[in-house]
Amino acid sequence: MKKLLIAYDGSEASTKAIDVALKCSNKEDEVILLTVIPAALVESTFTNMLLPTIDLKSVVKSGSFKEKAMKKMNEIAKQMEGKISKVDTVVESGDAADEILLTSKKHEADIIVIGYKGYGKEGRFLLGSVTDKVVRHASKSVLVVR
Ligand SMILES: Nc1ncnc2c1ncn2[C@@H]1O[C@H](COP(=O)(O)OP(=O)(O)OP(=O)(O)O)[C@@H](O)[C@H]1O
Ligand SMILES: [Mg+2]
């Protein structure tokens, strides 16, 4: 039995990461499906300046962001049923790479599965910054999906 942590941000690359993770796993394996709500979304002074009428902090604090993310994650988890023994869905907020590393430790994941890019900066880098940080700092193996 092995535990795979899949980092999901809704992007095409992270959707492919789910497919590849399932291809590389068997029925005894467990999956931790993680998404991180970026701290910048909540704390950016730029956002606050631009949208002073919207209190993003209260929106996030009320849990609606987290609940919505959880709902979407549970839908994805449902599609994995039967292919593996167990799926845990986790929604955190903060720095994506830090939370991926922390969650993989906490859940004792054997492998982190991650896309090579996400939403940002189309084609400018070979690796997204989250993937770059996770690959550099992880103490376990990282599968970067292309
Ligand atoms: N908020 C997040 N929550 C969970 N996983 C994430 C998150 N952000 C990125 N990832 C994971 O990291 C992979 C690469 O995304 P990354 O953010 O590094 O690239 P990018 O968005 O193209 O570039 P950058 O964010 O550096 O502008 C994604 O496919 C996904 O697997
Ligand atoms: Mg990104």
CA of 7 relative to ligand 1 center, distance in Å = 8
We report the CATH number of the domain holding residue 103 as 3.40.50.620
The dihedral region occupied by 5, where left means phi > 0, alpha psi between -120 and 50, and beta the remainder, is: beta
Tokens of 56: 């993003």
DSSP three-state, residue 120: coil
Residue 14: how many CA atoms within 13 Å on its side-chain side?
21
Ligand 1 pocket check for 47: Cβ under 6 Å:
no
Q: Average pLDDT for residues 7-17, to the nearest whole number?
A: 96
CA of 128, nearest ligand number: 1
Mutate to test the pocket of ligand 1, among 5, 6, 9 (most ligand atoms within 8 A of CB): 9
Model confidence, pTM:
0.89
CA of 24 relative to ligand 2 center, distance in Å = 24
CA of 10, nearest ligand number: 1
Tokens of 20: 């590849």
Read off the pLDDT of residues 30-69 as tens digits, 9 standing for 90 and up: 999 999 998 766 666 666 676 666 666 666 655 677 888 8
Ligand 1 pocket check for 121: Cβ under 6 Å:
yes
Read off the pLDDT of residues 69-105 as tens digits, 9 standing for 90 and up: 899 999 999 999 999 999 999 999 899 999 999 999 9
Instruction: Quote the mean pLDDT of the chain.
Output: 88
Please say whether the dihedral angle defined by the alpha carbons of residues 13, 14, 18 and 24, taken in this order, is positive or negative.
positive
CA of 85 relative to ligand 1 center, distance in Å = 26
Give the residue numbers spanning the domain of 116.
3-145
Number of domain units in the chain? 1
